[in-house]
Amino acid sequence: MKLPPQVKLVDVGPRDGLQNEKQAVPAEVKIGLVHRLQEAGLKDIEVTSFVSPKWVPQMADNAQVMQGIRRRPGVRYSVLTPNMKGFEAAIAAPREEWPDEIVVFGAASEAFSQKNINCSIAESIERFRPVVAAAREKGIHVRGAMSCAVGCPYEGEIAPERVGMLARLMKDIGVQHVGVADTIGVGTPLKVRRAIEATLEHYGIDDISGHYHDTYGQALSNTLASLELGVWQFDTSVGGLGGCPFAKGATGNVATEDVVYMLHGMGIETGIDLDQLIDAGVYINQALGREPNSRVSKALRTKRSA
Ligand code: HMG
Ligand code: MG
């Protein structure tokens, strides 16, 4: 079996991880998390989202967080921008505080599209179109998230053809990279493979990533199945934080610690220092008053204290 020798992880903890938290998380803590992640070797960090503060109050401090981070050369900082209002807010700051990458987020399920971004799939593409054009014109990389790529909390199972259709729509408007997202973590390896294969009809393997929530404990298996197809980019979340307020029952993304442990154990490089990453997970979980949701973090911390 030929596996990628290197993998790039995008830590989505500061965004996907924290967007669902009911308790207030101060901007300084979010900034502290970004700093710890980059010190641990993460080269891609999803920092925040420029969405409606009425819909997602936790991300209302987006500009403050973007302004507060100490940029490290070689690190790509991304933010979610669902429409022009969000994109304009993301670039209202001086250029050095702009995101390096923006994410437009669509869904393979009509019902989820309505619940999450209040419009149909077709309408979402029309909202994204000017955002993508404006971002690319300014030299900002554009990623597209494809939610509910295997299952939807409202529509149930999602056929791979629908993922292929969304990928084609994203491609048509100039989205450069797409993430196959198992929003509610119901996917199993063969279903995830089929969603990726449908995406491969429109995007090359270097422009596809996996974004797996771990609700049913399948995310590591789904990651391995994706690696076997040649996928080498994944979104993960430190401490297994995460969830979408509009995806009932969804829990966190697969923990970055668990994925790093698996990859290093397979001889695949990530450039990430697992010890420092564990400390980053402890830091944010202490701020939230709980334990990191990562088996690897727990096991290695037990070993450390022994
Ligand atoms: P809408 O209500 O359809 O938008 O919301 P609208 O254009 O009709 O505007 C309504 C109000 O929202 C107006 O304010 C706008 O100014 C304001 P009002 O006049 O009522 O005071 N507004 C905004 N404010 C700030 N920033 C903006 C913005 N846009 C409009 N960008 C919208 C549409 C998309 C904004 C809304 O539905 C929304 O914010 N949804 C939140 C979606 C979200 O953040 N979901 C979680 C992230 S996605 C995710 O987690 C999945 C992912 O991880 C992959 C996976 O796992 O599947 C990526
Ligand atoms: Mg997600």
**Collapsing DSSP states into helix, strand and coil, what is residue 304?**
helix
Q: Give the model's pLDDT for residue 72.
A: 98
CA 7 to CA 13: how far, in whole Å? 18
CA neighbor of 49 nearest in space, from 82, 9, 88, 21: 82
**Collapsing DSSP states into helix, strand and coil, what is residue 289?**
coil
CA 30 to CA 62: how far, in whole Å? 10
Structure tokens at 197: 């294969």
Query: Fold for domain 8-305?
Result: TIM Barrel (3.20.20)
Q: Give the model's pLDDT for residue 242.
A: 84
Assess contact for 48 and 14: CB atoms under 8 A: yes
Ligand number nearest CA of 150 is 1
Assess contact for 189 and 223: CB atoms under 8 A: no
Which residue, by CA, sits nearest to atom 2 of ligand 1? 118
Q: What is the pLDDT along the chain (306 residues), one digit of tens a residue?
A: 789 999 999 999 999 999 999 999 999 999 999 999 999 999 999 999 999 999 999 999 999 999 999 999 999 999 999 999 999 999 999 999 999 999 999 999 999 999 999 999 999 999 999 999 999 999 999 999 999 999 999 999 999 999 999 999 999 999 999 999 999 999 999 999 999 999 999 999 999 999 999 999 999 999 999 999 999 999 999 999 987 888 888 899 999 999 999 999 999 999 999 999 999 999 999 999 999 999 999 999 999 998
Give exposure, 267-280, as e/b (b: 16+ Cβ within 10 Å).
Answer: ebebebebeebbbb
**Collapsing DSSP states into helix, strand and coil, what is residue 126?**
helix
* Residue among 119, 148, 152, 244 flagged as catalytic: 244
Q: Which atom in ligand 1 lies closest to the alpha carbon of residue 86? A: 31
- Ligand 2 center to 305 CA (angstroms): 33
Q: Give the model's pLDDT for residue 2.
A: 85
User: Which residues pair with residue 65 across a beta bridge?
Assistant: none
Structure tokens at 240: 């297994």
Mutation pick for ligand 1 pocket among 16, 49, 51, 147 (CB with most ligand atoms within 8 Å) = 51
Mutation pick for ligand 1 pocket among 46, 47, 49, 52 (CB with most ligand atoms within 8 Å) = 52
What residue segments make up the domains of the chain, in order of their start? Answer: 8-305
Ligand number nearest CA of 80 is 1
Q: pTM score, two decimals?
A: 0.98
- Ligand 1 center to 117 CA (angstroms): 6
Task: Please provide residue 180's backbone torsions phi and psi, each rounded to the nearest 5 degrees.
Answer: -85, 110
DSSP state string for 92-123: SS-GGGS-SEEEEEEESSHHHHHHHHSS-HHH
- Ligand 2 center to 183 CA (angstroms): 5
User: Which residues pair with residue 253 across a beta bridge?
Assistant: 213
Query: Is 148 an active-site residue?
Result: no
